[in-house]
Amino acid sequence: MTNYWVGDLPRIGIRPIIDGRRRGIRESLEEKTMNMAKSVEALLKEHLRYPNGETVECVIADTTIGGVTEAARCADKFAKHNVGLTISVTPCWAYGSETIDMDPMIPKAIWGFNGTERPGAVYLAAALAAHNQKGLPAFSIYGREVQDIDDNSIPEDVKGKLLQFARAGLAVALMKGKSYLAMGSVSMGIAGSIVDAPFFQKYLGMRNEYVDMSEFTRRIEEEIYDPEEFAKALKWTKENCTEGEDQNKPEKQRSRADKDKDWETVVKMTLIARDLMIGNPRLKELGFEEEAEGHNALAGGFQGQRQWTDHFPNGDFMEAILNSSYDWNGIRQAYMFATENDALNGVSMLFGHLLTNTAQLFADVRTYWSPDAVERVTGAKLSGKAAGGLIHLINSGSATLDATGKLERDGEPVIKPFWEITEEEAAACLKATTWYPGNTEYFRGGGYSSKFVTEAEMPVTMCRLNLVEGLGPVLQIAEGYTVKLPREVHDVLDARTDYTWPTTWFAPNLTGRGAFRDVYSVMNHWGANHGSISYGHIGKDLISLAAMLRIPVSMHNVKEEDIFRPSTWNAFGTDGLEGADYRACETFGPLYGRK
């Protein structure tokens, strides 16, 4: 599998903790303790993959850890093997502060075996107290049911927490040291595209890279791209991307020659944006050694409006293809690429991608449609998951084509990792998409916008990262479902906005209180004009990830029993969990900018 970025992928370190007392105690526990570590490794390798499709790698300490010297040897090994998160496991009492993971920069969890012969719960409590006292938040994993000492299985509730911690911890580790590449600057005053370098550096461990949009002009005019790949890409585009009828007024339509030239330009833009993000060794062969390097970007964004789009073709094709799991080179990992250089929504997309390994949907959170309003306009009553109303998710044709609803698993529509996608499914997504000449009132320079409708009911999670002066970053989460409306209802509602843009109808899960009292409240509480939508109900994973980064969650509809944060969060209050989250994040400060 291809790794787009510099360096080895991060590994999960497993630390088998043991009672260090010799002459019978330690000796009797060696096999059990190491078996726990091996069972965790097997679980993680069975269920987790990196975003490029490779099986997650684990590193187990060379020996069990009974004291500080063995803990130091383990730390040394982990440093040499690029361990980005650790899980300590123990079936017994051991020496708490002598054996814990002391690295303040990586997420850590402890599984204490629930048994009575040599209770790991006692070590778990002692080690967590040490972590808390030293300001090193750790996740506590403790099975609900007592196990026998010779039981080497992992209970289902423990499996869930191990995987939840590992998914979030891997996301943290994967971001560290990578870049966000801003292509251009601030789009139309959108705050999210005011790229805040201290946030990226202190909270995510990422660096910021910047290029002016004139770099696209330079590379197009000086032909700094692979001409053979361009020919292949343009041929593929003509064969697979259906051009729709021009919806502009006749006097606003571009000529056929201009439209053909636009196709060439948007394909070149796609090649150039990808090369800017991750580099391209082919450019070195062509004499462009500096340009071949790229910016090691895990995510990026394109300003587009208006300085680019008033004169050049828009970035919709580039953004939609990069955000999808296939192009002229076949099926591959999606790139995280933000419209209008909304870096905060780009980070939201990145969170979802790293947790699920799937393409993410970038959209405007555009309109709340109440049941009464829908009935007034269409004469139809909403039902099913849409009965309480809908949020219209729509933007100017930059959305991932994976969201067409044409990908399947076991006969059900899904958005899934690229290695599960078939050629037939990729073709179906492309066939379900029409590329309309861009609205020249908005895009004076022409271009194309993708148009599709998510005609499927799928579980999804919408999230958004916002920055608030005096508070810092906050995360919003809304789990719900995409909704398939009757075509005649969709057509009426969709025609009230730009027909040439992709639409997804979203119905959030309601709780009857707070921001989730009703659908209107969800829309009314949303903190920005954009949202990132991921397949699946991943709110609990987002909450764990946010806690690791010290980002409080300002609204969510995740069940309380699914919330998994470091154990020290309990010390900030166990009744009002939202307030406790804010206090804990403020106390510990950003992961890479500790107080």
Q: Last residue of a domain, which of 175, 190, 220?
A: 175
Q: What is the CATH number of the domain that holds 339?
A: 3.20.14.10
Active site residue 258: no
pLDDT score for 1: 74
Cβ neighbours, 10 Å, residue 9? 18
What was the pLDDT predicted at 98?
A: 94
The answer to whether 364 is annotated as binding is yes
Residue 492: which residues within 8 A CB-CB, separation 6 or more?
377, 378
Report pLDDT for 371. Answer: 97
Spatial CA neighbour of 136 closest among 577, 578, 548: 548
310, with CB counted inside 10 A (0-12, 13-18, 19+), is exposed
Residue 225 lies in a domain: yes
Does 4 reside within a domain? Answer: no
Polymer length of the chain = 595
Q: Are residues 135 and 281 in the same domain?
A: no
First-to-final CA distance of the chain: 39
Give the residue among 546, 537, 536, 595 at the shortest CA–CA distance from 566.
546
Residue 482, domain member (yes or no): yes
Span 422-437, average pLDDT: 97
pLDDT band at 24 (very low <50, low <70, confident <90, very high): confident
3-class DSSP assignment, residue 390: strand
| pLDDT digits 0-9 by tens, 326-376 | 999 999 999 999 999 999 999 999 999 999 999 999 999 999 999 999 999
Q: How confident is the model at residue 498 (pLDDT cuts 50, 70, 90)?
A: confident
Residue range of the domain that includes 241: 179-588
Claim to verify: residue 152 and residue 253 sit in the same structural domain = no
Instruction: Give me the mean pLDDT over the 290-308 stretch.
Output: 96
Q: What is the pLDDT of residue 594?
A: 63
Catalytic residue selected from 275, 364, 402, 498: 364
Q: Would the pLDDT of 595 be above 60?
A: no
Encode pLDDT of 126-136 as tens digits.
Answer: 999 999 999 99
Same domain for 233 and 153: no
Spell out where 340-397 has E strands: 361-369, 390-394
The pair of structure tokens assigned to 79 is: 């440093």
% of the chain residues with pLDDT over 70: 99
The distance from CA 304 to its chain's CA centroid, rounded to whole angstroms, is 23
pLDDT of residue 19: 87
- Is pLDDT at 543 greater than 90 in this prediction? yes
Model confidence, pTM: 0.97
SS3 state at 39: helix
- To the query of whether residue 246 is one of the catalytic residues in this protein, the response is no
Residue 1 counted as domain residue: no
Q: What's the mean pLDDT in 28-51? A: 96
| 593 located within any domain | no
Distance of alpha carbon 193 from alpha carbon 338, whole angstroms: 9
At 441, the pLDDT band (50, 70, 90 cuts) reads confident
Residues 171 and 192 in one domain: no
pLDDT at residue 189, as a whole number: 93
The answer on 187 and 164 residing in a single domain is no
Residue 94 lies in a domain: yes
pLDDT value at 481 more than 60? yes
> What share of the chain has pLDDT > 90, as a percent?
90
Q: Scanning the structure block, which residue is given the tokens 């972590």?
A: 131
Same domain, 318 and 347: yes
> Do 186 and 112 sit in the same domain of this protein?
no
Q: What is the pLDDT of residues 99-117, one digit of tens each?
A: 999 999 999 999 998 876 7
Nearest residue to 585 (alpha-carbon basis) of 558, 557, 550: 550
| Pairing state between β 472-483 and 553-555 | parallel
Please count the structural domains in the chain: 2
Residue 544 confidence (pLDDT) above 70 = yes
For residue 5, being part of any structural domain is answered with: no
The residue among 175, 203, 226 that closes a domain is 175
**Is 470 found in the same domain as 518?**
yes
CB atoms within 10 A of CB 379: 10
Which pLDDT tens digit goes with each residue over 209-221? 999 999 999 999 9
Query: Is there a single domain that holds both residue 84 and residue 201?
Result: no
Residues 316 and 290 both lie in one domain: yes
pLDDT of residue 357: 98
d(CA 209, CA 341): 12
Tell which of 175, 204, 234 closes a domain: 175
Over residues 416-423, the mean pLDDT reads: 98
Is 530 marked as binding a ligand? yes
461 and 325 inside one domain:
yes
Q: How far is CA 313 from CA 258, 294, 316, 353, 460, in A?
A: 10, 23, 9, 28, 32
The CATH number linked to 153 is 3.40.50.1070
DSSP string covering 45-64: HHH-B-TTSPBPPEEE-SS-
Residue 278 shares a structural domain with residue 361: yes
Amino acid (1-letter code) at residue 454 = T
User: Quick check: is 6 in a domain?
Assistant: no
Of the candidates 19, 340, 402, 494, the residue annotated as catalytic is: 340
